[in-house]
């Protein structure tokens, strides 16, 4: 008996069109917690080969993060260690464009996925009727992610303080939060920060503390970065403002 030893070799016609490959590669990159210069370069190359030169340039801008040139003056940008978290955030904010139709949700500083940010996400069809926006959830504990959400299209999860978290916080057009934000985060022109503070504060959140300088600086700084604030009643508005 003869054995069929033919080996199938895919032709170039079987390959995914380069423009579709670039889309899929970009989606995969959004799901990577750590910064990968090589992956960023490959995304730029895909876009360049697809003829989308403008997006290719934006992708190439994301290859490097500002390095400590005094500590490592000769190392390749592909091998130098990452800088501190605030330096990385500032680099992304200064060098990468704001990404339209990207929404970042952070509930209770990433500790859980609930509250008003979740309610808004569950009604996302009201502002994303075609389902083509990118929805980004911040987490600190992966077990808090609802299992059935992991397969949702155009929905990604990023670990708090990861490089992808810094990248997306610096570039997402919309941010929805219900607590304080990191001290190094500063809203850019073209970004919109919605705060839906959790609950009704029966305390003064530091307003009545006369023993410490800037005792409520964290929350006040958060509200200074906020463009839109949602509160359940006038009492909450008075305490927060």
How many whole angstroms from its chain centre is CA 56? Answer: 20
Residues 6+ apart with CB under 8 A from 11: none
37-49 vs 53-61: helix axis angle to the nearest 10? 170
Residue 204 pLDDT > 60: no
Which of 120, 121, 198 has the alpha carbon at shortest distance from 157?
121
109-132: average pLDDT = 95
**Degrees (nearest 5) of the Cα angle 60, 64, 66?**
140
Q: What is the pLDDT of residues 122-140, one digit of tens each?
A: 999 999 999 999 999 999 9
Give the pLDDT score at 24: 86
163-171 vs 85-95: helix axis angle to the nearest 10? 40
Give the pLDDT score at 85: 85
Q: What is the pLDDT of residues 50-82, one digit of tens each?
A: 999 999 998 888 887 655 444 555 555 556 566
- Rounded distance, CA 170 to CA 90, Å? 8
Give the pLDDT score at 223: 84
Instruction: For residue 8, name the pLDDT band (cuts at 50, 70, 90).
Output: very low
């Amino acid at each position: 008996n003869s054995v069929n030893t033919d080996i199938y070799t895919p032709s170039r016609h079987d390959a995914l069109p380069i423009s579709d490959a670039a889309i899929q590669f970009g989606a995969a990159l959004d799901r990577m917690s750590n910064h990968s210069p090589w992956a960023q370069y490959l995304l730029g190359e895909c876009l360049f080969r697809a003829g989308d030169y403008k997006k290719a340039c934006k992708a190439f801008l994301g290859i490097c993060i500002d390095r400590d040139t005094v500590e490592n003056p000769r190392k390749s940008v592909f091998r130098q260690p990452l800088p501190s978290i605030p330096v990385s955030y500032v680099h992304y904010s200064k060098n990468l464009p704001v990404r339209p139709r990207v929404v970042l949700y952070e509930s209770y500083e990433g500790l859980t996925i609930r509250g008003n940010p979740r309610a808004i996400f569950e009604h996302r069809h009201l502002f994303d009727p075609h389902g083509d926006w990118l929805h980004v959830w911040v987490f600190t504990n992966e077990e808090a992610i609802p299992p059935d959400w992991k397969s949702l299209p155009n929905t990604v999860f990023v670990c708090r303080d990861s490089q992808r978290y810094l990248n997306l916080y610096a570039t997402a057009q919309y941010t929805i939060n219900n607590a304080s934000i990191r001290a190094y985060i500063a809203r850019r022109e073209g970004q919109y920060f919605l705060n839906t503070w959790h609950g009704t504060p029966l305390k003064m959140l530091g307003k009545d503390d006369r023993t410490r300088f800037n005792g409520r600086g964290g929350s006040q700084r958060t509200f200074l970065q906020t463009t839109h604030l949602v509160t359940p009643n006038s009492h909450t508005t008075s305490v927060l403002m």
